[in-house]
Amino acid sequence: MTFLVSTKLPARVRDDIQAATGALGVASADFTDGMAIPPATVALVAGLPAGARRLPAELARLASRTAIRLVLCASEPMVRPVTTLLGGRVILIAPPFDPQRLRWGLRAATAGGAEAARFAGEAGQTLGAEWWLAWARHPGHDAAVEVAESPIDVTAVVGRGGTAAQAEQAGDLIRAASDDEALERDLGTTVEDRAILRLAATLGEWTVYLPPASGALWLCSPWRAPAQWCLSKVIGESGHRLARVPAYPQDVLILCEQAPAIDGIVAAAERGAIEAYAALRAAAAEARLVGAVVEAR
């Protein structure tokens, strides 16, 4: 996948866009008016002039003739820092164009890719109103991630042989549960030795099911003390596999099958979820592992 970046944008903004797309695993290239659009292009990043109340004509033609998404850096303040229009086809980013705000807008364009391709290959991601989930695995690894999404939560099953049906069933069990001991037994029957990561951001809750061989699990947050918390250690010492933890905006939950590899990923999380995902992908390229990053938005 490639992002085309208009050369009319300021050089500093283009540099920040290049850094953000690199962290997302997407290439970027310069775009000048009238040039041919490469087949792998997923989005075009350009500016929206002050006073404009509709798409510039050339961008409107491009949007109507292709499946390319438009990421527009608006010249005027907006109510929200990032706004999506036309079912995610157009993404508006309000000034100032700081790196984090640009990452939010670019991530929305990337995660809005074809549904069938989200969890194919060696990496995938999905973006909801309250969460962002991304995963990566070593090429040829037989473990992967299956995800079920509802209006209020996202549930991921991580491990070998997991299925989308298991993710759906696990989500249903968690939502209906009134007793955690019974829920732990039911989840074990459903997913066996696979891990479950579930975020209900609206309800403010993480629910995790972590068998001993699942790897290391960390929760990182700028609003917690400590800011980095090894959940897998806490769960292991409890004698249980199930844990519920309050969820706050900007929480980042990180699961990595190989514990030694997670240190660099957790360190990268200090700079945000996208940087943690970039570190996970780098680790998965070198070592035989699977991992996932989930951010509460």
In tens, the pLDDT along 202-232 reads 889 999 999 998 999 999 998 888 999 999 9
Identify whether residues 47 and 182 lie together within a single domain.
Answer: no
Indicate whether 50 pLDDT > 90: no
Indicate whether 46 pLDDT > 60: yes
Identify whether residues 122 and 179 lie together within a single domain.
Answer: yes
C-alpha angle with apex 20: 15 to 26, nearest 5 degrees?
Answer: 110
How many residues belong to the chain?
297
pLDDT at residue 115, rounded to an integer: 36
**44-71 mean pLDDT:** 80
Residues 39, 72: Cα–Cα separation, whole Å: 21
Residues 101, 161: Cα–Cα separation, whole Å: 37
Indicate whether 100 pLDDT > 50: yes
pLDDT at residue 111, rounded to an integer: 67
pLDDT band at 64 (very low <50, low <70, confident <90, very high): low
Of the ranges 73-82, 116-125, 196-205, 239-248, which one carries the lowest mean pLDDT score? 116-125
Identify whether residues 156 and 235 lie together within a single domain.
Answer: yes
Beta strand pairing status for 41-48 and 69-74? Answer: parallel
Residues 143, 280: Cα–Cα separation, whole Å: 15
Could you tell me the CATH number of the domain that includes residue 89?
3.40.50.360
Q: Which of 87, 111, 135 is the last residue of a domain?
A: 111
Identify whether residues 211 and 227 lie together within a single domain.
Answer: yes
pLDDT at residue 49, rounded to an integer: 84
Residues 126, 184: Cα–Cα separation, whole Å: 26
Which residues have CB under 8 Å from 107's CB, separation 6+? 20, 24, 127, 132, 274
Domain count, the chain: 2
Indicate whether 110 pLDDT > 90: no
Strand order in 90-93's β-sheet?
A: 27-31, 2-6, 41-48, 69-74, 90-93, 82-85
Q: Give, for 279, the enclosing helix (H) or strand (E).
A: helix 273-286
pLDDT at residue 58, rounded to an integer: 77
pLDDT at residue 118, rounded to an integer: 44
Could you tell me the CATH number of the domain that includes residue 290?
3.60.40.10
Domain that holds residue 257: 115-296
Identify whether residues 212 and 70 lie together within a single domain.
Answer: no
Kindly report, residue by residue over 247-268, the tens digit of the pLDDT.
999 999 999 999 899 999 999 9
Identify whether residues 158 and 74 lie together within a single domain.
Answer: no
pLDDT band at 282 (very low <50, low <70, confident <90, very high): very high
Identify whether residues 74 and 210 lie together within a single domain.
Answer: no
Identify whether residues 95 and 140 lie together within a single domain.
Answer: no
Q: Which of 58, 92, 111 is the last residue of a domain?
A: 111
Identify whether residues 93 and 139 lie together within a single domain.
Answer: no
Confirm if 134 and 120 have CB atoms less than 8 A apart: no
pLDDT at residue 104, rounded to an integer: 80
Q: What is the mean pLDDT of the chain?
A: 88
Identify whether residues 127 and 51 lie together within a single domain.
Answer: no
Q: Give, for 158, the enclosing helix (H) or strand (E).
A: strand 154-160
Identify whether residues 148 and 247 lie together within a single domain.
Answer: yes
Kindly report, residue by residue over 129-178, the tens digit of the pLDDT.
788 899 999 998 989 899 998 878 999 999 999 888 999 999 999 999 98
pLDDT at residue 283, rounded to an integer: 95
Phi, psi of 80 (to 5 degrees): -115, 150
Residues 187, 165: Cα–Cα separation, whole Å: 13
Identify whether residues 127 and 255 lie together within a single domain.
Answer: yes
Q: Which of 59, 80, 111 is the last residue of a domain?
A: 111
Radius of gyration in angstroms for the set of CA atoms belonging to the chain, rounded to a whole number: 20
Indicate whether 89 pLDDT > 90: no
